Amino acid sequence: MEGQRTSPATRLYRQFGVCCLCLFPLSGYAAEPVPDDTATVTFEYLLGIGFMAGGDTIATYEVTYPPGSLLGGETVDLDVKGGNGGYYFIGAGAHLPRYNLGTEIHWGLFKDGVGDAGRFSRLASEFILYAELNRWRIGGGVMHHGSPEFKDDQLGNLEFKDAVGWLGQLEYRFEAGTLGVRYGDIDYELDTLTVNGDHWGLFGVLRFGQ
């Protein structure tokens, strides 16, 4: 029996509340004493790329690699999935050095595909709260995927409804940026069809201005 569905707005509020509750205990560790001359707020801009995997299979394609390539002559099945693909994004952040807390906003493109055969793309925006423990940064927030669309020249196109979900991530900070791992929880809906887009992935961020 199918359970009662929750509206996207209600899901968004609940997920944001969960992220805040998860980060609140960390603020006790992050709020270490710092010199009085530390800036109250600092700002930075960022450029990032990530590679994600997971979710339901939307379509499977049989691909034969040409002779001379790494997999020359071999035929393999490649999937287009709801959580697979590259994530390319820009963003901005505000940081509170006195308390080692901060927030970020991301805008980007999330895309998976098998050449020109089939593509699944969505426009992503994210709001993230985080706490820093030395060089480690742990955070969580909400994401909105706009215009999710699967395109196939032979099967046709599927235009899903905009979707909201939540994410959590752990990063390690270097001088020029951060490297991290993240998990996202999101579903895409089209009439009676629901595609799971949950994913794990690795990402890197170059940071400017802090």
Start-to-end Cα distance in the chain: 52
Angle at 38 between CA 33 and CA 41, to 5 degrees: 110
| Residue count of the chain | 210
pLDDT tens-digit profile of 125-171? Answer: 999 999 998 899 999 999 999 999 999 988 789 999 999 999 999 99
> What whole-number distance in Å separates Cα of residue 42 and Cα of residue 144?
26
Q: Which CATH class is domain 8-208?
A: mainly beta
Whether the pTM exceeds 0.95: the reply is no
Q: How confident is the model at residue 97 (pLDDT cuts 50, 70, 90)?
A: confident
Q: Which pLDDT tens digit goes with each residue over 159-202?
A: 999 999 999 999 999 989 999 999 999 999 999 899 999 999 99
Based on the number of CB atoms within 10 Å of its own CB, is 163 exposed (0-12), middle (13-18) or buried (19 or more)? buried
